[in-house]
């Protein structure tokens, strides 16, 4: 490995909220290995993803372009033609994906143990090596629980993994990564993407991880009548759809009771702990192979999960329960055990990766984190932005667009001249929607103008992105 081209290990969980690491203030969590990594890293407490569902967020990350540029606002297919990974290959990097990217493998030299969402694994059938491994062990993948378990919907998507542990998709994927690392000969600088599927639903950890949690410590949502009245009714179209749906990852809000919600959350947190254990093994393997000390190691997630906060489930909205994600960066020469309060976008992580590899970040969004990490300079980001279109999860409104400062957040709803506005100083939990409140008229006007300026300026700046298709 060249000193100016460090190995880069990018680890991404699936649907992990920003408030789920013990070392970062989540006292109920059991995450000793992430805590250890945080102790060797700079932790960004205000890190945000650019979109609110799996495909849209991952597409924005691996193109370095927001949805309004790349056209992927939800679950639209990606061709991979705009991915930045070939820029790393041009710098001599060997690029490997193990686990979930949920995107075409453009730019990866190796693409192993690829998984979709747990609900989509069945579609791949024998094309998925995890399914082949399950069947080789004498089992069938547990895809039919919604048909065979009469109490399935009362469990709110929370089950105990029913097969041997080593056949859990995340454990299987992480073990494949350990095997790959064991065989890696270090012939080139390495970019390694490790993509976990958890804690995305199904919330399905093995029992021993659940046993680490005390029910009394599980934090619960507290949605007041005032908060519920201020949430635009369009955001509950998903609830109405789910009540009539049938499927392995369907959660029916009408089945929720406090006991069931607590159990759902316990399974979600235990799923994070399952990932945590594998991360500890991966770090040990990197150290054993001599790949760790001089490597850049990044841990984050594509977005979060409501878990009935704001009386909502899943994802697709732009509350901090969805767009705030964990982010820790370990790198050579970086002062560890530092927690930073600046606003950071995952687009800034893209520019940092390109910066550290010697690749060109021209034409892409983001402000590199390098000065903040290397020299301790304050990261110069005034706002973070996010966008999300309608999907089968949230069928309306057509488009949500967010602008967020340290003190306020505005979410614009397309089509009906409405939205959400939060005073994050007085109301960090985003429980009081101040949209249209006369006391906040100037703040709403300022944020709306800055959001419009960002969108219009950027659309003009990147007007030739698809010039060849004109």
Domain ranges of the chain: 8-382
Q: What is the per-residue DSSP string for 47-104?
A: EE-SBSSHHHHHHHHHHTS-HHHH--SSS----STT-SHHHHHHTT-EEEEEE---S-
Contacts of 208 (CB under 8 A, 6+ apart): none
Contacts of 207 (CB under 8 A, 6+ apart): 160, 161
- What's the pLDDT score for residue 393? 81
List phi, psi (to 5°) of 415.
95, -30
| Gap between the Cα atoms of 202 and 407, Å rounded | 35
| Gap between the Cα atoms of 281 and 32, Å rounded | 12
- What's the pLDDT score for residue 1? 45
- What's the pLDDT score for residue 125? 54
Contacts of 366 (CB under 8 A, 6+ apart): 64, 345, 347, 348, 349, 350, 351, 352
| Sign of the CA dihedral running 196, 202, 203, 209 | negative
| Gap between the Cα atoms of 5 and 282, Å rounded | 21
CB 49 within 8 A of CB 323: yes
Between helix 258-288 and helix 169-183 the angle, nearest 10°, is 10
Three-class secondary structure of residue 166 per DSSP: helix
Per-residue pLDDT of the chain (470 residues; tens, 9 = 90+): 455 799 999 999 999 999 999 999 999 999 999 999 999 999 999 999 999 999 999 999 999 999 999 999 998 988 889 999 999 999 999 999 999 888 888 899 998 876 665 655 555 556 678 888 899 999 988 888 999 999 999 999 999 999 999 999 999 999 999 999 999 999 999 999 999 999 999 999 999 999 999 999 999 999 999 999 999 999 998 888 899 999 888 999 999 999 999 999 999 999 999 999 999 999 999 999 999 999 999 999 999 999 999 999 999 999 999 999 999 999 999 999 889 999 999 999 999 999 999 999 999 999 999 999 999 999 999 999 999 999 888 888 899 999 999 999 999 999 877 899 999 999 999 999 999 999 999 999 999 999 999 999 999 999 999 888 88
- What's the pLDDT score for residue 218? 96
Q: Partners of 46 in the beta sheet?
A: 343
Provide the terminal-to-terminal Cα distance of the chain, rounded to the nearest Å: 42
Number of H helices, E strands in the chain: 16, 13
| Gap between the Cα atoms of 411 and 69, Å rounded | 19
| Gap between the Cα atoms of 213 and 30, Å rounded | 8
- What's the pLDDT score for residue 123? 52
CATH architecture of 8-382: 3-Layer(aba) Sandwich (3.40)
The DSSP bridge pattern shows strands 8-14 and 190-199 to be parallel
| Sign of the CA dihedral running 60, 80, 16, 145 | positive
The verdict on pTM exceeding 0.75 is yes
| Gap between the Cα atoms of 435 and 340, Å rounded | 30
């Amino acid at each position: 490995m060249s000193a100016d081209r460090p190995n880069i290990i990018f680890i991404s969980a699936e649907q992990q909220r920003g408030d789920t690491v013990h070392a970062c203030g989540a006292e109920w969590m059991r995450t000793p290995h992430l805590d250890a990594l945080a102790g060797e890293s700079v932790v960004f407490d205000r890190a945000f993803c650019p979109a609110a569902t799996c495909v849209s967020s991952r597409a924005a990350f691996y193109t370095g372009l927001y949805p309004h540029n790349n056209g992927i606002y939800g679950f639209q297919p990606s061709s991979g033609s705009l991915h930045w990974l070939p820029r790393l290959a041009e710098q001599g990097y060997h690029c490997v994906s193990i686990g979930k990217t949920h995107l075409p493998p453009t730019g990866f030299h190796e693409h192993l143990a690829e998984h979709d969402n747990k609900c989509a694994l069945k579609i791949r059938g024998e094309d998925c090596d995890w399914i082949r491994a399950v069947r080789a062990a004498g089992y069938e993948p547990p895809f039919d629980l919604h048909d065979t378990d009469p109490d399935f919907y009362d469990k709110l998507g929370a089950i105990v993994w029913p097969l041997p542990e080593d056949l859990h998709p995340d454990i299987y994927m992480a073990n494949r990564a350990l095997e790959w690392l064991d065989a890696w000969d270090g012939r080139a600088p390495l970019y390694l993407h490790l993509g976990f599927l958890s804690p995305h639903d199904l919330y399905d950890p093995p029992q021993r991880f659940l046993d680490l949690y005390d029910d009394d410590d599980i934090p619960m949502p507290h949605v007041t009548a005032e908060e519920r009245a201020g949430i635009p009714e369009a955001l509950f179209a998903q609830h109405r759809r789910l009540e009539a749906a049938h499927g392995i990852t369907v959660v029916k809000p009408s089945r929720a009771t406090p006991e069931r919600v607590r159990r759902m959350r316990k399974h979600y947190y235990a799923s994070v702990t399952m990932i945590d254990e594998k991360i500890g093994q991966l770090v040990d393997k990197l150290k054993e192979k001599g790949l760790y000390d001089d490597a850049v190691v990044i841990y984050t997630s594509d977005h979060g999960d409501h878990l009935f906060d704001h009386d909502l489930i899943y994802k697709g909205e732009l509350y901090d329960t969805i767009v705030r994600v964990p982010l820790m960066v370990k790198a050579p020469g970086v002062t560890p055990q530092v927690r930073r309060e600046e606003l950071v976008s995952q687009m800034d992580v893209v520019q940092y990766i390109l910066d550290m590899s010697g690749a060109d970040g021209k034409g892409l969004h983001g402000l590199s984190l390098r000065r903040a990490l290397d020299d301790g300079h304050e990261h110069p980001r005034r706002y973070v932005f996010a966008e999300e279109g309608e999907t089968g999860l949230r069928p309306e409104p057509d488009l949500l667009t967010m602008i967020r400062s340290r003190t306020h957040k505005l979410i614009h709803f397309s089509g009906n001249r409405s939205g959400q506005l939060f005073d994050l100083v007085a109301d960090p939990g985003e429980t009081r929607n101040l949209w249209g409140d006369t006391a906040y008229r100037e703040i709403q006007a300022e944020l709306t103008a800055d959001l419009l300026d960002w969108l219009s300026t950027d659309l003009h700046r990147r007007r030739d992105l698809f010039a060849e298709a004109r």
